[in-house]
């Protein structure tokens, strides 16, 4: 190292170039190590969607052709926390008790059933949906989302899911 120290004349150029590469390699190594750890650390946590069956209503109570509004409470896991979130759903007694999510597939507002017009209307951007959830008009790109449901012990149960909004395909979140 002596000859590198005190003179800028650098008698051996290739050795000098090699020596100068070292600090860059060292810096690169450190940054690569930290960047790899940071990438793994910050990568979004995917929490599996809840498989839990949530009671919606007694089947015996459901009748008629009009959608029935219900609220369900679903557990939502996100990293270090779990939370309970309330969601609105519509049961369709005229359609074999299918359960629709009330979340508008356009930008996620909550649709409400209008008895007089027989449509689900979204208050935000005026999307309208038919009684079976089909899209009628407005900016929404698909119909209302159907939730997996079943009947157990005379109770209608549902698995809550939410879907990515403003897409044509129905893609569950998570």
Partner 1 sequence: MISPRDTDFGELKIAPRPFSVGVDAGGSTGWRCWVWTTTGVVLMLLLVQFITGLLLAFYYVPSADHAHTTVSFIEKALPAGPWIRALHHHGSQWLPLFLFLHLLELLWRGAYRTRAARWIATVVLLGLVMAAGATGYSLPWDLRAFFSTRVAEGIVNGLPLVGSSARAWLLGSNEISTLTISRFFALHVLLTPLLILLVVGWQLFVRRSNPPGVTAEEEHSENKAESPIKKISRSRAVVVNQQTRNVLMAAVVFLLLGLYSHKFPAPLGPSASNATADYLPRPGAQFVWLYQTLKYVPGAWGSLVGVVLPGLVLLMLAMLPWLNRKPFRRITNRPRRNIGAVILSLSIVFITSMTLISYVSDRRDPRTRQQLAVQVAEEAAFRREPFVPAMLKEADTANVPASAASPGMSATGPPLAYTKLCATCHGEHGEGARQGTLKFPPLLSVAEKPRRSVADIVGILNDPTAYGLEPPMKSFATKLRDDEKREIAAWVVTLKTTR
Our CB check for partner 1 shows the closer of 85 and 152 to be: 85
Contact 47, 174 (CB under 8 A): yes
Contact residues for partner 1 (CB under 8 A)?
2, 4-8, 10, 19-20, 22-23, 26-27, 29-30, 33-34, 36-38, 40-43, 45, 52, 54-58, 61, 70-75, 77, 79-86
CB of 9 to partner 1, least distance (A): 8
CB of 134 to partner 1, least distance (A): 26
Strand runs (DSSP E) across the chain, as ranges?
54-58, 68-78, 81-92, 98-101, 112-114, 119-121, 128-129, 135-137, 146-147, 149-152, 155-158
* Number of Cβ atoms within 10 Å of the Cβ of 107: 14
SS3 label, residue 92 = strand
Our CB check for partner 1 shows the closer of 64 and 79 to be: 79
Our CB check for partner 1 shows the closer of 7 and 171 to be: 7
């Amino acid at each position: 190292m002596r000859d590198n120290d005190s003179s800028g004349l650098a008698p051996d150029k290739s050795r000098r170039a090699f020596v100068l590469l070292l600090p860059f390699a060292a810096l690169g190594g450190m940054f690569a190590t930290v960047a790899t750890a940071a990438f793994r650390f910050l990568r979004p946590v995917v929490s599996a969607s809840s498989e839990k069956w949530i009671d919606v209503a007694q089947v015996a109570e459901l009748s008629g052709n009009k959608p029935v509004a219900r609220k369900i409470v679903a557990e939502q896991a996100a990293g270090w926390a779990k939370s309970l979130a309330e969601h609105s759903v519509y049961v369709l007694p005229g359609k074999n008790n299918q359960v629709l999510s009330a979340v508008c597939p356009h930008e996620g507002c909550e649709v409400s059933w209008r008895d007089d017009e027989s449509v689900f209307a979204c208050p935000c951007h005026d999307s309208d949906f038919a009684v079976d959830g089909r899209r009628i008009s407005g900016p929404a790109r698909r119909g209302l989302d159907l939730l997996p449901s079943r009947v157990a012990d005379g109770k209608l149960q549902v698995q809550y899911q939410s879907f990515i909004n403003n897409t044509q395909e129905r893609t569950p979140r998570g």
